[in-house]
Chain A
Amino acid sequence: MAAVGDARGARPVSPASTLAVLERALTVYRRVWRGSVFSGFLFPVMFLVAFGIGVGGRVGQVGGVDYLAWIVPGVLAATAFQTAVGECAFPVFGDFRWTRAYHAMRATPVRVGDMVAGWLLYIVVRVEIATAAFLLVSALFGALRSPWAPLTPLVCALVALAAAAPMMGVAARVEHDGWFALVFRFVVIPSTLFGGVFFPVERLPAVVRPLAWLSPLWHGAELNRAATLGGVPPWPVAAHLGVLVAFAAAGAVLAWRCFSRRLED
């Protein structure tokens, strides 16, 4: 399917237009950033207090480190994952259905590829802000144990792209926002609970373990854990990265198709 009016073989994305789309998202975000940074701090602190200190006090050590330090990298990845999915659900759906912002862009030289790429960049910015807040809190709790810890924002950016791109496709495709409740119930929450965030997936029965491998969150959590604790992830690093890149790439193609279809008439 070719996007309407775009030459076949032409570049699907133009840097200037993509930045213009990012700029619009940031202009809107500027109004609400205080609240989002505040909750960006509050969320990890609540998690660390409840699970790290509350639950961790009874659990003791996991994998040779205290429970708090063990869950920090997982919660970090989960924050990236949930922020990405959340910001690609109602905001994208609404820009098709309510504000018709994408229809407005469609009348300009901005291409579908620019709309997708611009929003993905915005998601990365959002996730990096949340990640930075979380890392700061984690450092204060003494949960970062390795000099590789500064790599976690890069992992989180990849997790965000892997989750955001397919979610954008879904948000552009669905006819009712009721689908988002299903995505949260059957994808986001199970991923967070069983994706290696709060306990190692090895504790799961062998038959359901592959389900965790299917979630970008597990790959991100394991890479983050290797980075903050200085260990070796269960799969080769390249394999974990490969899965995340594959999700992001396939998701971007899906998003591009769903956007094109929604804007076609």
Chain B
Amino acid sequence: MAEQPLIFARGLVKRFGDFTAVDGIDLSVAPGEAFGFLGPNGAGKSSTMRMIGCVSLPTAGELRILGMDPARQGPAIRARLGVCPQLDNLDPDLTVEENLITYARYFGMPRGLARRRAAELLEFVRLADRAGGKVEPLSGGMKRRLTIARALVNEPDIVLLDEPTTGLDPQARHLLWERLFQLKRRGVTLVLTTHYMDEAEQLCDRLVVMDGGRIVAQGSPRALIAEHSTPEVVELRYGQESPAEVAVKLAGVGRRVDALPDRVLVYAEDGDAAAAQAHERGPAPASVLVRRSTLEDVFLHLTGRTLVD
């Protein structure tokens, strides 16, 4: 028999008045999995996360977290979750260390244990030297790491991360990914939302692509690329000619040709061969880039839109 899923949803719906944020999604997250929600702003990722975090009740459908019903066992479920919200809500009136200890006390942890746990976690997120300092002077990346440490204080079964690296500089993002990867290796179940492809590819074993409140595709990053894209993509930019006109001339090159406002994408098994063909059939491109397919291409193919404008 398969292990019981930590998160299970069927026909999950969230409506705010007339607006349907989540429109009947099915999910199942297994223990130890790193699971991602990928989609543009407004796709319904955060609404789904809030329902999983038991701070927002489903309008319809079935939802089970750790085998329990959020409508009736909210506090018991929340006791076993770690939440890193999209908006930082660290306590600016407390020190870095006090933020962790105070939060541990919300979970009923004894003071001494809370203190030890806080010290361990500050070590883990590399903020031990800031323990006695204020929160306000910390950089964005440090605050996010502190929020993640806070989410781990109760040794949760599931860690929920809502856009964990949005707004961080590349260096801060890489440090954060590395720490999250460590957690993953320890077997912590991670559920995260992101609109960054590289983040999803780096961290997620499995993900769902959301658009307009629905799940439009799911699988591992590699399987999604294999299913919805080609191994390679050629990006062609032109001087005078509009990408739409060029795309018509290039029809038949590779497996598929897409025109974006600023470039033409040719999806192909062999990028170099397709680039050569494009040279013969169309006008001379101003620039040619052959690259591997990414989740961005999957998303573009599935929704007709790019993820980050």
Q: Is the CB of A100 within 8 A of B92?
A: no
Q: Is the CB of A107 within 8 A of B105?
A: no
Q: Is the CB of B55 within 8 A of A4?
A: yes
Q: Select one of A21, A24, A99, A263 contacting B55, CB under 8 A.
A: A263
Q: Chain B 49-82, CB within 8 Å of chain A: the 1/0 string?
A: 0100111110000000000001111111111010
Mark A residues whose CB is within 8 Å of B: 3-8, 14, 16-17, 20-21, 23-24, 27-28, 31, 99-101, 103-111, 263-265
The distance in angstroms between the C-alpha atoms of A21 and B91, with both chains bound, is: 13
Q: Select one of A5, A100, A104 contacting B103, CB under 8 A.
A: A104
Mark B residues whose CB is within 8 Å of A: 16, 50, 53-57, 70-79, 81, 83, 85, 87, 89-94, 98, 102-103, 105-108, 154
A residues in contact with B92, CB < 8 Å: 99
Known: A28-B93, A99-B93. A108 touches B74 (CB 8 A): no
Q: Is the CB of B55 within 8 A of A105?
A: no
Known: A28-B93, A100-B89, A103-B85. A20 touches B55 (CB 8 A): no
B residues in contact with A7, CB < 8 Å: 72-74
9 A-B pairs with CB atoms under 8 Å apart are A7-B73, A24-B94, A99-B93, A101-B89, A108-B106, A109-B76, A263-B55, A264-B56, A265-B50
Q: Is the CB of A24 within 8 A of B102?
A: yes
Q: How far is the CB of A10 from chain B (nearest CB, A)?
A: 8
Q: Select one of B50, B73, B76, B91 contacting A104, CB under 8 A.
A: B91
Q: Is the CB of B89 within 8 A of A5?
A: no
Q: How far is the CB of A245 from chain B (nearest CB, A)?
A: 28
A residues in contact with B57, CB < 8 Å: 4-5
Known: A5-B75, A108-B78. A27 touches B55 (CB 8 A): no
Known: A99-B91, A99-B92, A104-B103. A5 touches B108 (CB 8 A): no
B residues in contact with A99, CB < 8 Å: 89, 91-93
